[in-house]
């Protein structure tokens, strides 16, 4: 969600010449990518934990 919001802010900032809004948009996109990375790392850790325990979803 942050990435989408960021893209919108960045676009509005570019259209209006508002560098602050453009920067906020870029920051929101980075925040969104960071959240995605944390979620992905958590999912990977859970998968490793489950495989070590033998909890396959087969």
> Could you read off the pLDDT tens digit of each residue along the chain, which spans 58 residues?
999 999 999 999 999 999 999 999 999 999 999 999 999 998 888 888 888 887 555 5
Enumerate the H helices of 1-58 as residue ranges: 2-16, 19-53
DSSP letter for 23, please. H
2-16 vs 19-53: helix crossing angle, rounded to 10 = 160
Site of tokens 């942050």 = 2
């Amino acid at each position: 969600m942050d990435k989408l919001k960021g893209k919108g802010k960045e676009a509005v900032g570019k259209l209006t010449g508002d560098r602050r809004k453009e920067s906020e948009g870029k920051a929101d996109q980075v925040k969104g990518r960071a959240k995605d990375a944390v979620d992905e790392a958590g999912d990977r850790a859970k998968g490793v934990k489950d495989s070590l325990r033998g909890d396959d979803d087969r």
